[in-house]
Amino acid sequence: MSRSPSFHARSQLDAKVDEEGFQQWVVAFCIIRFDLEQGQLIEECYPPGCLTQNEALEVAFSSFPDSISQHHNGSSIHDCIFFFRIRRQEKSHIANVVSHEIVEVDREIASLDDKVLKQSNNIQKSNRPKYLYGFVFNRQIHDDRLKRGGEQKSMVILSHNPYSIVFRPLLQIMGPLYFDIGKKALNYIAASVSSWPAPLTGQLMELYIGNATLKVHLPPAHSLPWSGAVFFEDLISPIAHFLPSNQSVPQGLFHDSKIFLGYFEGF
């Protein structure tokens, strides 16, 4: 297998991101570093402004292991992958649309408008995903000269969906790539993700990143935690209650993606 990189830096790292396509899979990419003076700090967040202040603090706090690993097997660098879940925070609601400057208002119409507005707000609340799932690639660099014996930084994928079968192998590509070429890797991966088709629950999908291919079988909709992000039609689909007919493609093929990592090494 060729170990050359699967893309050219100048032509593909500046690829444009389809925001709508990106949001079908990912809420944000975050880079978080641990500062000895200030603690966990979000260094980069793409796209910006997608988290509330409380969500940003909780993501930063959740993106590091409990301690710096002491098992480096003779290496000064230690990488690990883990995940967390946090509850989404309610954003501030838009002010009441009924203007107090309008004096002559029919009471029955106003009452009807209030009911429609309440129903609309309830639907929006119920459809808004309740959780954020964070998939973390953490790198710890051992250095006895530092106060805590080393430094660490995390690259985090945030999603409304707990698709570990997708995001774990994606981290195995994206994490090392980020630490190799920096934040321009975020734009490249975001552009690749935004070109993926919409998630198809219970089906085998081929997702491309450069010349790499992630062959993943998404779990059926009925097995996912209900968060308002899954359509009702998916939940009642007659095929949702059956295992995939191709039993040679089990759910959870993390190792499938590893054979493609050679494309990205040494870039």
DSSP 64-90: S-SS--S--TT-SEEEEEEEEEEEPPP
Three-state DSSP state, 214: strand
Distance of CA 216 to the CA centre of its chain: 16
Q: Name the burial class of residue 245, with classes exposed (0-12), middle (13-18) and buried (19+) by CB atoms within 10 angstroms of its CB.
A: exposed
CA distance 232 to 226: 10
Total number of domains constituting the chain? 1
55 token code pair: 């969500």
Is position 215 within any domain?
no
Tens-digit pLDDT profile for residues 30-86:
999 987 778 888 999 999 989 999 999 999 999 988 655 555 455 688 899 999 999
Is position 213 within any domain?
no
pLDDT at 94: 32
pLDDT at 173: 94
pLDDT at 31: 96
Domain of residue 58, CATH code: 3.30.450.200
Average pLDDT along the chain:
72
**Mean pLDDT value across residues 159-175:** 94
Is position 42 within any domain?
yes
pLDDT at 156: 97
- For the entire predicted model, the pTM comes to 0.68
Tens-digit pLDDT profile for residues 191-238:
999 999 999 999 999 999 988 899 999 998 887 775 544 443 344 333
Q: How confident is the model at residue 251 (pLDDT cuts 50, 70, 90)?
A: very low
Is position 104 within any domain?
no
Report the greatest alpha carbon distance in the chain. Answer: 79
Is position 129 within any domain?
yes
Is position 31 within any domain?
yes
Distance of CA 180 to the CA centre of its chain: 21
User: How far, in Å, are 47, 134, 169 from residue 165 at the CA level?
Assistant: 23, 13, 7
pLDDT at 12: 61
Question: Which domain does 32 fall in, by range?
Answer: 9-89+116-198
